[in-house]
């Protein structure tokens, strides 16, 4: 299917979504968010797609965030239920997402990356939540995800100043997993995806769901006691993969995952 504001490619069980508005540094407006919401709906609902990479077109930007010129010209500012870029409010997606940040990730662009599970960054990448500079606030998850990932003091140091953070500093702070040369970015992101795809997708989804839901529990004890009630964990126990994994190990052969 052809899209207007993004490109979607499939490489086996891997989906690659490229934000494709390079003329505005891949800034996101309401029509792009609606389109991306449909893209991520399709990914979530496709049993053959297990991992996704999100990146930006061109060399300058992953995404400059909210399209302020579109907003200033009177464009509508509503977002789909799934949030900014069809992603930031997607709390029920248990399939892994990898952000391959190729350049500027500002405001909503940074929030898109934070909504992913793994961030691989080019050495040219720059991150910031500069919304207060234009009378806004990072309400698409940045104000809540960043403190949970790097701690309140470090997060507030970025949020209250709007300062720019390099990829290297992002790794030191803890929100970037790996920093690579620009030409190695997509190969590195694919390698992360490859490592994930070697595992049972049922186990991967159960693990992601246990982490995200467990962090919302009041204590580690509550998380452990309640985890068998999490749907993805229950699905893992019922799956063919739950039988295949131990059998393949006993037979000393690679497992043949079904994802069901």
SS3 category, 23: helix
Sign of the CA dihedral with 99 first, then 103, 109, and 114 last: positive
Mean residue pLDDT of the chain comes to 96
**For the whole model, what pTM was predicted?**
0.96
Q: Catalytic residue among 9, 35, 111, 217, which?
A: 111
78 — pLDDT class (breaks 50, 70, 90): confident
Q: Catalytic residue among 34, 35, 131, 198, which?
A: 131
Residues 203 and 209: their CA atoms lie apart, in Å, by 10
pLDDT at 2 (0 to 100): 85
The C-alpha R_g of the chain, in whole angstroms, comes to 19
33-56 residue pLDDT tens = 999 999 999 999 999 999 999 999
pLDDT at 77 (0 to 100): 76
Residues 12 and 249: their CA atoms lie apart, in Å, by 24
4 part of the active site: no
111 part of the active site: yes
SS3 category, 136: coil
Query: Among candidates 47, 94, 114, 97, which has minimal Cα distance to 230?
Result: 94
Going from the C-alpha of 169 to that of each of 52, 100, 163, 176, 259, the distances in angstroms are 25, 16, 12, 9, 37
* pLDDT at residue 238 greater than cutoff 80: yes
- Please identify which residue in the block is written with the tokens 């989906």: 15
Count of CB atoms situated within 10 Å of the CB of 59: 11
183-222 residue pLDDT tens = 999 999 999 999 999 999 999 999 999 999 999 999 999 9
Average pLDDT of 165-171? Answer: 98
Going from the C-alpha of 114 to that of each of 13, 43, 105, 118, 241, the distances in angstroms are 23, 19, 10, 8, 30
Check if the beta carbon of residue 95 is closer than 8 Å to that of residue 46.
no
pLDDT at 254 (0 to 100): 95
Residues 189 and 176: their CA atoms lie apart, in Å, by 12
């Amino acid at each position: 299917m052809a899209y207007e504001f993004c490109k979607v490619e499939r490489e086996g069980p891997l989906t690659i979504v490229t934000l494709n508005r390079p003329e505005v540094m891949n800034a996101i407006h309401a029509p792009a968010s609606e389109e991306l919401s449909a893209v991520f709906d399709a990914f979530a609902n496709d049993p053959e797609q297990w991992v996704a990479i999100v990146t930006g077109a061109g060399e300058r930007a992953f995404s400059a965030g909210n399209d302020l010129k579109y907003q200033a010209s009177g464009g509508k500012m509503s977002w789909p239920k799934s949030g900014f870029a069809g992603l930031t409010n997607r709390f029920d997606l248990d399939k892994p997402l990898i952000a391959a940040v190729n350049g500027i990730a500002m405001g909503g662009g940074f929030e898109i990356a934070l909504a992913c599970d793994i961030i691989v960054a080019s050495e040219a990448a720059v991150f910031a939540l500069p919304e207060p500079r234009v009378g806004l606030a990072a309400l698409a998850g940045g104000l809540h995800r960043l403190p949970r990932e790097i701690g309140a003091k470090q997060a507030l140091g970025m949020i209250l100043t709007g300062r720019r953070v390099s990829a290297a500093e992002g790794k030191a702070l803890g929100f970037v997993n790996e920093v690579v040369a620009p030409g190695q970015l997509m190969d590195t992101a694919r390698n992360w995806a490859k490592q994930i795809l070697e595992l049972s997708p049922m186990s991967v989804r159960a693990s992601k769901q246990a982490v995200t839901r467990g962090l919302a529990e009041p204590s580690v004890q509550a998380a452990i006691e309640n985890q068998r009630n999490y749907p993805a964990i229950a699905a893992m126990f019922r799956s063919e993969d739950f039988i295949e994994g131990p059998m393949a190990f006993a037979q000393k052969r690679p497992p043949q995952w079904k994802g069901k």
